[in-house]
Amino acid sequence: MNDELPETIEDSLRILEENLEILENLDLEDSKEDEIEPILGLYQLFDMTEDVSESSKIKRAESNLIKRQEESL
């Protein structure tokens, strides 16, 4: 599983780079809460990457749990 982490991070960064301009150009309501701000530092990009990684781990764990529950029935 640790071998997958660097690949997952690289994929996350690639996807983020591909979609960042699209996300910045979304026409959202005039609420400041909904404004998309450009990433100000590397640490913010790292935090976002960690969030994506954790989210994918949770989804994988949920999927595995469902499979185990189906197998036990």
Determine phi and psi for 31, rounding to 5 degrees. Answer: -80, 130
Model confidence at 53: pLDDT above 80: yes
Per-residue model confidence (pLDDT) at position 5: 78
Per-residue model confidence (pLDDT) at position 2: 63
* pLDDT tens per residue, range 6-45: 888 888 888 888 888 877 777 666 555 556 667 677 788 8
Determine phi and psi for 50, rounding to 5 degrees. Answer: -60, -40
How far is 9 from 23, CA to CA, in rounded Å? 19
Q: Please name which of 47, 56, 65 lies closest in space to residue 5, comparing C-alpha atoms.
A: 56
